[in-house]
């Protein structure tokens, strides 16, 4: 574990600060080690004050719903920030815009947009994460991604400073942004367009049904494992390499959707990551394509 936090950081927080915090229960795979510290701030001022009070070069990582992440078995160094209800508000703005807290889920954002008659954000219904996560990762689903709708975002920097970053500064690419390391997204503005709530709701229902039909949502999984290579579908490459149902330790390639890994039998994070690497090796040998991880892999091995 990293050295003990300075007394100021420990004594003045209003939220919850937990040393040696088990992260397995907070991520979809239900596997992995502990965070040196888990901080769940009471509000924005609490987060800013806590980070401003840190000393030295303390690693900082934000954690949303834990849906697109492998937490390695050795745990995560430094501080993991988890935003709660205080950061989950959604505000309807003029001109078909929404301001959304970094802890708001994709379901909440898309539902608020539907209720306000704002179209163009339905695809967020298909992203199993929070605003903070899919702003950082340029999350996408069903032909659209966050870079299509983001106006700007507010972030708290590792030194506690609050900054507003326009979408252009994030330099988005496929499932990637250049958001500064350790920056915590606390809110974002999205641009939609005027629409009919019934039609918006119908599209959200279609997306939800498509996910339920095609993805292993009721298993311990982490979402799409590999990025789609240009002009290719990752699941087709995995399937063609004979990896459907492939097992390693307690981890398995989903039979339902081969771009999903699942914790089938008390898998360790090492089992899951090693299985992913074996899939990458087999795909490379079969098709010559080098699959890139989409799931974040964090922490100590």
| Angle (deg, nearest 10), helices 106-115 and 197-214 | 150
Nearest Cα to 222, choosing from 26, 22, 40?
Answer: 26
For residue 32 the two structure tokens come to 């992995």
97 burial (CB, 10 Å; 0-12 / 13-18 / 19+) is: middle
Catalytic status, residue 280: no
Handedness of CA 281, 283, 288, 292 (dihedral sign): negative
Element housing 291 (H / E): none
Q: Please identify which of the residues 40, 154, 203, 294 carries the catalytic annotation.
A: 294
For residue 103 the two structure tokens come to 């802890």
Q: Which residues contact 241 (CB under 8 A, 6 or more apart)?
A: 279, 282, 283, 285, 286, 287
Question: CA–CA separation, 37 vs 226, rounded Å?
Answer: 29
- Distance, CA of 288 to chain centre: 29
Phi/psi at 103 (5° precision): -95, 5
Q: How far is CA 183 from CA 10, 157, 235, 273, in A?
A: 21, 5, 32, 26
Q: Please identify which of the residues 224, 269, 273, 282 carries the catalytic annotation.
A: 224
Do residues 80 and 37 lie in contact, with contact meaning Cβ atoms separated by under 8 Å? yes
Length of the chain in terms of residues written: 301
Q: How far is CA 93 from CA 21, 67, 90, 101, 192, in A?
A: 38, 29, 10, 13, 10
Catalytic status, residue 224: yes
Do residues 138 and 176 lie in contact, with contact meaning Cβ atoms separated by under 8 Å? yes
Catalytic status, residue 294: yes
Q: Please identify which of the residues 175, 189, 280, 282 carries the catalytic annotation.
A: 175
Catalytic residue set: 175, 224, 294
């Amino acid at each position: 574990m990293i050295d003990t936090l300075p007394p100021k950081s420990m004594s003045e927080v209003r939220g919850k600060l937990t040393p040696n915090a088990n992260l397995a229960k907070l991520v979809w795979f239900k596997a992995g080690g502990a965070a040196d510290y888990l901080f769940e701030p009471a509000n924005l001022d609490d987060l800013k004050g806590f980070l401003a009070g840190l000393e030295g070069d303390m690693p900082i990582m934000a954690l949303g719903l834990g849906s697109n992440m492998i937490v390695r078995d050795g745990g995560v160094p430094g501080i993991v920030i988890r935003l709660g209800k205080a950061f989950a508000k959604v505000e309807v703005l003029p001109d078909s815009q929404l301001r959304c807290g970094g802890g708001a889920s994709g379901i909440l954002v898309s539902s608020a947009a539907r209720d306000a008659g704002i179209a163009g954000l339905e695809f967020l219904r298909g992203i199993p994460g929070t605003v903070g996560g899919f702003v950082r990762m340029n999350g996408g689903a069903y032909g659209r991604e966050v870079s299509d709708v983001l106006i700007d975002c507010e972030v708290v920097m590792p030194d506690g400073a609050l900054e507003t970053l326009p979408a252009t500064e994030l330099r988005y690419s496929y499932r990637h942004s250049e958001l500064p390391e350790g920056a915590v997204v606390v809110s974002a503005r999205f641009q939609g367009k005027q629409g009919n709530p019934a039609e918006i709701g119908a599209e959200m229902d279609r997306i939800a049904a498509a996910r339920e039909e095609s993805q292993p949502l009721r298993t311990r999984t982490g979402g799409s494992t590999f990025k789609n290579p240009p002009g290719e579908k990752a699941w087709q490459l995995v399937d063609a390499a004979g990896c459907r149902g492939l097992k390693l330790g307690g981890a398995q390639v989903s039979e339902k959707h081969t771009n999903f890994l699942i914790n089938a039998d008390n898998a360790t994070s090492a089992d899951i990551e090693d299985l992913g690497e074996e899939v990458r090796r087999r795909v490379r040998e079969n098709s010559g394509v080098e699959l890139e991880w989409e799931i974040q892999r964090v922490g100590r091995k």
